[in-house]
Amino acid sequence: METAYYLDKFQKIANDLDQQHFSEKKLESKVGIWLHSVALKVQKRSWINASQLARPFEESIFFSVWVNDESARTGKLYYNIHALKLRQLTGYKIKSRDFATAFRMRFKAFEMKWPNVRLDLGPLTLMEGWVVLDEEHFAATVKDLTYNFSAIAFIIDELLEERKIPVELAK
């Protein structure tokens, strides 16, 4: 896989996203290499553990679109939503399995907009799917997936709000 090539492609896509749209939804994007994959990741600051030692894409909830050697070889571009170390999110009382189940129930209404999506995964991966890795339409495909995610991000906000520890109990 051409790592530099995909880093450049993803970065151009991230730069070309409607910044006002994502800013209004408080969504931020980042391009980089994670677990031997080149990825575009999207999340809200409020979905990240408040600890100064926390790493943004390790103790948090985030959406990603990625390609790696295997996906390039099989002609697939993957996407998913991860929910990592939710028990460690400051200010919330979250059980990962319950959170994943609740997300999947609410996601069902949007499932038809997500090609080849799977919901039968463990609690760390709320959903995962793939689309054909088509170089000619790569940017449009990644943008479509990213905008699809921006349309369902409210589900995560609602689930977190339901699990927020009241301020008087958090002390």
How do the pLDDT tens digits run along the chain, 171 residues long? 789 999 999 999 999 999 999 999 999 999 999 889 999 999 998 898 766 555 555 668 999 999 999 999 999 999 999 999 888 888 889 999 999 999 999 999 999 999 999 999 999 999 999 999 999 999 999 999 999 999 999 999 999 999 998 866 555
* Backbone phi, psi, residue 56, to 5°: -50, -35
pTM assigned to the model: 0.91
Tokens of 77: 């571009």
Tokens of 163: 């699990």
Which of 139-145's residues contact partners 24+ apart within 8 Å by CB, and which partners?
A: 139/9, 139/12, 139/13, 139/16, 141/77, 142/10, 142/13, 142/40, 142/65, 142/77, 143/13, 143/16, 143/17, 145/65, 145/79
Tokens of 142: 């990644």
